[in-house]
Amino acid sequence: MGREKSKQDVIMLSVVQISLAALFIIFCRYNSHYEIGKYTMFQDVHVMIFVGFGFLMTFLRRYGYSAVGFNFLLGSIIVEWSCVCLGFYNMSDDYKILISIESLYQADIASAAVLISMGAVLGQTSYMQLIIMGIIEIAVYSGNAYLGLQVYKAVDAGGSIFVHTFGAYFGLAVSFVLNKKKTGSVQESNLEESTYTSDLFAMIGTIFLWLYWPSFNAVDLSGDDQHRAVINTYLALASSCVTSFLMSQILTDDHKFDMVHIQNSTLAGGVAVGTCANLMIQPYGALLVGIAAGALSVYGYVKITPIIEEYTGIHDTCGVHNLHGMPGVLAGLFGALMAGIASESLYNESLYEIYPALSSPTSQADTEFTQTGPGLGRTAGEQAGFQILALVTTMAIAVVTGLITGGILTLKGISSPLTKNNKFDDLIYWTLPNDIEKNTKITKLPENQAYDMTTVTK
């Protein structure tokens, strides 16, 4: 990139980190309570964020450095920023944010929403645009999560509504703005292709995500809830894996497995079961959820994505609509269904732990079970309605704020936008090995503009 733009990015990144450090100095303190037993699952989630998501996005033939590197950079910044943003909604009496293991895994989970959005615009933005997008997104994410969980009292154990659905539609809205002048086929470069080796690296991310997803859905739970969440998530992942292989062979023209489907749709069960992961859906119910998610995700890649690209110009590089968007909506609907049929006969005393809003306002309902405390006295049907409201509100907020964020990213002075010829290419930001760099012809433009690069070999 141009020297002046490089200096600008260095200054902006320095300001971001120094500002975060200042916020920690002013507001953040240790929490004296240590959540023993949570560290193992926190580490599982940590691996998902920095290994799983990072390597899942290495499928592009010459964007591997950026996929893993920018994921590493963006995730680290967002973890810091998430601790602050989420902490502002739960400050101590002396207006301090208490940092604990719980703060860290909640920050990791929040960063997943940003990395999902990154997948929608992968290769289309500068790293500074990604950072700005992430900073805005987490501020909105925190407010939306507070609205859904604390005001609506919606239940979303695995974050399928507030993480996956939000992150997917926020990213798609940003991509829509970045590509708003384009319709039809949006593949712009032969670099937006995979190679045998890059697809193998991406499968590393898939396997890590698949293995650790039960921890993602269960880390914020305890007791029987956590036990059910691990079982339900694992079974949903297994059935979505099998279904994805099956649907891939059915729907592809040559009736062979497509690596795109195997890298992504095999994970859709973990998303679709998230909202009801801790609920009494029964083991067979978890399998059915995974089957539905796997089938929907592969169908999305084959049939729905081309239609969206043709008529809207949305460039969904990683297909987050098929892995996180539609399965997230499916999870929200499953969650509403389970809320609608929730009863004491099904859950016994744990009903009011899972759905505290069903508890009576005075906590003196006519029941043989001890309630957790004063609630809102909702019926199961009313709780189902609030589950739907949380889903619809999340999608609306994600789309609107994503469109605004996309507009901000296109403003002059934010960061040097990538030209058509330097999208999906590591060379613009990374020092590459000689055997890669020599295959690219570089035309130097004026000092304040980006390089224009053209690949001259395969």
pLDDT averaged over every residue in the chain: 90
* Tens-digit pLDDT profile for residues 263-308: 999 999 999 999 999 999 999 999 999 999 999 999 999 999 999 9
pLDDT band at 443 (very low <50, low <70, confident <90, very high): very low
Find tokens 């996005």 and name the residue: 57
Q: Is the pLDDT of residue 367 over 90?
A: no
Mean pLDDT of all residues in 187-209:
89
pLDDT more than 70, % of the chain: 89
| Tally of residues, the chain | 458
* Tens-digit pLDDT profile for residues 306-355: 999 999 999 999 999 999 999 999 999 999 999 999 999 999 888 999 99
Q: Of 168, 159, 372, give the one whose Cα is nearest residue 278.
A: 159
> Distance between CA 456 and CA 451 in Å, rounded?
15
* Tens-digit pLDDT profile for residues 86-117: 999 999 999 999 999 999 999 999 999 999 99
Residue burial 192-228, b: 16+ Cβ < 10 Å; e: rest: bebeeebbebbbbbbbbbbebbbbbbbbbbeeebbeb
Q: State residue 419's pLDDT score.
A: 76
Q: Is the pLDDT of residue 34 over 80?
A: no
Q: State residue 414's pLDDT score.
A: 75
> Distance between CA 381 and CA 359 in Å, rounded?
14
**What letter represents residue 221's amino acid?**
L
At residue 382, the 3 state secondary structure works out as: helix
CB-count exposure of residue 338 (10 Å: 0-12, 13-18, 19+): buried
Residue burial 235-250, b: 16+ Cβ < 10 Å; e: rest: bbbbbbbebbbebbee
> How is the chain split into domains, by residue range?
3-340+379-409
Assigned fold of 3-340+379-409? Ammonium transporter fold (1.10.3430)
Q: Is the pLDDT of residue 134 over 60?
A: yes
* Tens-digit pLDDT profile for residues 42-81: 999 999 999 999 999 999 999 999 999 999 999 999 999 9
